[in-house]
Amino acid sequence: MLEVHVDKLEPNPYQPRQNLNENTLEELTLSIETHGVVQPVVVRRTDEEDVYQIIAGERRWRAARRAGLQTVPCIVQEATDEKALELALVENLQRDDLGPLETANALQHLVHEFGLTQDQLSEQLGRSRSTIANTLRLLELPQPIKQALAEERITQGHARALLALAAEPERMMALFARIEEEGLTVRETEALTREPERSDAESEAEVGESGPPAPQPTDPHIEEVKRRLRDRLGTKVTLLPRSKGGGSIHITYHDAEDLDRILSLIAPGGPRSYTTLR
């Protein structure tokens, strides 16, 4: 391990992380000001003397510069472009630092740029082949849905469910709109993708036979709270107030991965003890 001047380090062009969260970067800066850089940055040599390219640890480097450090501890590895991307991807996956689209783009780069197969990716990253394939499929989604996924307005579970309608783009976009407007859960979304499409005439006939549902009185305050929680957590939230005051909040999650995502929003910092990597 050696100490490298912060100005002699350069970011990795293959860095899979596309967005650096300003809040977490500021928290890391404050931590480094107090404790220094605890975990070394992984780098590789460049053609320029004494200049190193970061393989893993770009956030630590940027935070160290903000904190006013002159040098950071580094571990030098010999790595090709392919290996550099693979190492950066593995570190971010282990730390749960990447969004699903960032992971998908990095995997696609390994496939297209370096010719790796999905089986090779599965072996090298420790993920099942089906997980690799499902993650890559996220890139097939229309841009508005990918944007919503990147902004965490919908979950990866929602996005994967919508892919079932890839051959029916209009239905896909209509269901996506319902997810955002109604706060549909992943299971509800999956169920709707399996329903046969009905014509407008059939829908109108059904309404004509039974009549529209009677409107239920709603408390505007409760509805506003539900909307805020739903927008923040990206899932269905139910408020059950009691007549004597107080009440309960029901938060819906689809699977262990979705539970981890919600925990990271409302109780960050804990271990990822609810997800089993496949």
Residue 22, token pair as written in the block: 């300003």
- Tell me, yes or no, if 58 is annotated catalytic: yes
Q: How far apart are CA 22 and CA 62, in angstroms?
A: 11
Of 85, 37, 80, nearest in space to 59 by CA: 37
Among the listed residues 58, 86, 102, 188, the single catalytic one is 58
Among residues 194, 183, 203, 192, the alpha carbon closest in space to that of 252 is found at 183
Signed CA dihedral, 198, 204, 205, 211: sign only: positive
- DSSP codes, 240-266: EE-TTS-EEEEE---SHHHHHHHHHHH
Q: What is the DSSP letter of 164?
A: G
Tell me which H or E stretch contains 135.
Answer: helix 129-137
User: Do residues 112 and 104 lie in contact, with contact meaning Cβ atoms separated by under 8 Å?
Assistant: no
Name which of 103, 168, 113 is nearest 137 in CA terms: 103
Upper half-sphere CA count for residue 126 (Cβ side, 13 Å): 8
CA pair distance 235, 180, nearest whole angstrom: 9
Nearest to 163 by CA among 149, 151, 152: 149
* Contact present, 63 and 24 (Cβ < 8 Å): no
- Residues serving a catalytic function are 58
